[in-house]
Amino acid sequence: MSQTKVKKLTPEQAAFIPVYREKWRAISLSTGPINRSQAAETIKSAYSAIGKKAPEIIFVDRPYEAADIILSQIDNPRSLLRSQFETKLRSELEKQLRSYLRGQLESELQNQLQTQLEDRLYTQLQTQLWEPQRNYLAGEIASQLPPQQLIDERNEEIHWEILGKQLNNCIQPELWAGCGSLLDFCISVLNLPHSYGRNWIVFQSLVRDCGWIYPFERVCVVCEKPIALSADSNHRLHAEGKPAVQFADGFSIYAYHGVILPEWYGRLHPHQWQSKWVLKEQNAEVRRALIQGITYDRICQELAVTELDSWQEYTLLSIEFDDDFDWVGNAKPVYLLKMTCPSTGHIHALRVPPDVRSALEAIRWVNWDIDPRGFFRANLSKTNLKKSAGYHHQSYTNC
């Protein structure tokens, strides 16, 4: 096995990058139930790798159920083992393999294999699952402390520092997947040498066979994976008419293209959403998700909108939201270019910038500033307009 540093990938090697990225995305986002016997063996091997005796292994159905067990460990912060797991099973192997990569190749592989796995969906899982649980556990722990420990300001900073370490003693396999894809590529495709064969096997099994892991000196809590986890093509939490994340006990998270929804919206398919909800919804992110799901076409037909200008089959419309204001306190209307196909009567609408004041100006904007009077025909279909307007429409959907 050659130990020469790798300076550049061959075309054949580069072709495997998306293969290994998707392999580890699929592994990390697999759903439960986990094989508890296999997970228990993995935990025992992991403890052995860091020189610790096998702990009592406790399985729970979802992360929140780990609260009582974690509370019982608060008196001994030295029993926290996450950092030892990360050093022995991840960091040492990563450092050894990266030593064989030269120049820009290391950063390029990290970006294409590790970083691209860790953004968007993993960030959302961190925000929507981990942070709420962390806050919940903090409240539970605080409620069980003697009052003087909370009142005494001299001890407060020390207490919350210990508490933070306690709550962060969690191995989240989905956050290890990015590193796993990089290591797997280096070992399997580049054939880079390493001396951590057994630990690499344990690393893979932790990600594949376990949910969240809370490793303590004598106790290890292993959480079941969600029974459902859905995402869109951009790897954002997404499902229509059902939970995007669901655990076996019924705990669920609803999301639409990355926007977390209240259950009363999420449990309905977007086809069942009503345009009038857009006017009543106070949360701007949720309102944007409603508009996207309902579509501007339906909103134009179902809501009272203000007609500002028209030209042939095109009409410039506005809808004002009373609770949405700009930085100087003025209401922020949404401007739409409504287009009616003369042959089918089908209505289509695109959002345009707020400084557009005429239908012609709006048409020019979606057609790369070309004056429509020079080439538009009275029976121009919305398909042609959509084709010429593609970039502009995408760039302004979140205005």
User: Can you tell me the distance from the alpha carbon of 252 to that of 228, in angstroms, rounded to the nearest whole number?
Assistant: 9
Is the model more confident about 152 or about 93?
93
335 pLDDT tier (thresholds 50, 70, 90): confident
Residue 178 has what DSSP assignment? H
DSSP state of 20: H
Q: Please name every residue paired with 319 in a beta bridge, in sequence order, or none if there are none.
A: 334
- Residue pair 354/399 in contact (Cβ under 8 Å)? The answer is yes
- Give the CA diameter of the chain: 80
pLDDT higher for 394 or 343? 343
**pLDDT band at residue 381 using 50, 70 and 90 as cut-offs:** very low
**What is the helix (H) or strand (E) element at residue 352, kind and residue range?**
strand 347-352
Residue 182 pLDDT class (50, 70, 90 cuts): very high
- Scanning the chain, the segments in alpha helix (DSSP H) are 11-14, 17-28, 36-49, 67-71, 82-86, 92-98, 105-109, 116-118, 121-125, 131-143, 147-151, 153-167, 173-188, 197-209, 263-266, 276-280, 284-294, 296-302, 359-366, 382-395
pLDDT for 92 = 92
Tell me, what's the pLDDT at 137? Answer: 63
In this prediction the pTM is: 0.70
Average pLDDT, the chain: 80
Number of H helices, E strands in the chain: 20, 11
**Alpha carbons 18 and 31: distance in angstroms, whole number:** 22
Q: Which of 380, 360, 356, 384 is nearest to 372 (CA)?
A: 360
284-298 burial, b at 16+ Cβ within 10 Å, e below that, comes to: eebbbbbbebbbbbb
Helix or strand or coil: residue 70?
helix
CA torsion, ordered 282, 288, 289, 293, to nearest 10 deg: 120
Omega before residue 55 within 30° of 0, cis: no
- 29 by Cβ neighbours in 10 Å (0-12 / 13-18 / 19+) ranks as buried
SS (H, E, C) 307-326: EEEEECCEEEEEECCCCCEC
Asked if residue 340 has pLDDT above 90, the reply is no
CA atoms within 13 A on the CB side of 299: 28
Q: What digits encode the pLDDT tens for the residues 1-29? A: 446 788 899 999 999 999 999 999 888 88
Q: Which of 33-47, 118-132, 278-292, 318-332 has the lowest mean pLDDT?
A: 318-332
- Taking residues 79-104, what's their average pLDDT? 90
Residue with the two structure tokens 């990600």:
207
Structural contact between residues 319 and 338, judged by C-beta atoms closer than 8 angstroms:
no
Give bridge partners of residue 222 from the DSSP assignment: 59, 213
Q: Which residues of 218-238 are buried (b: 16+ CB within 10 A; e: fewer)?
A: ebbbbbbbbbbbbbbeebbbb
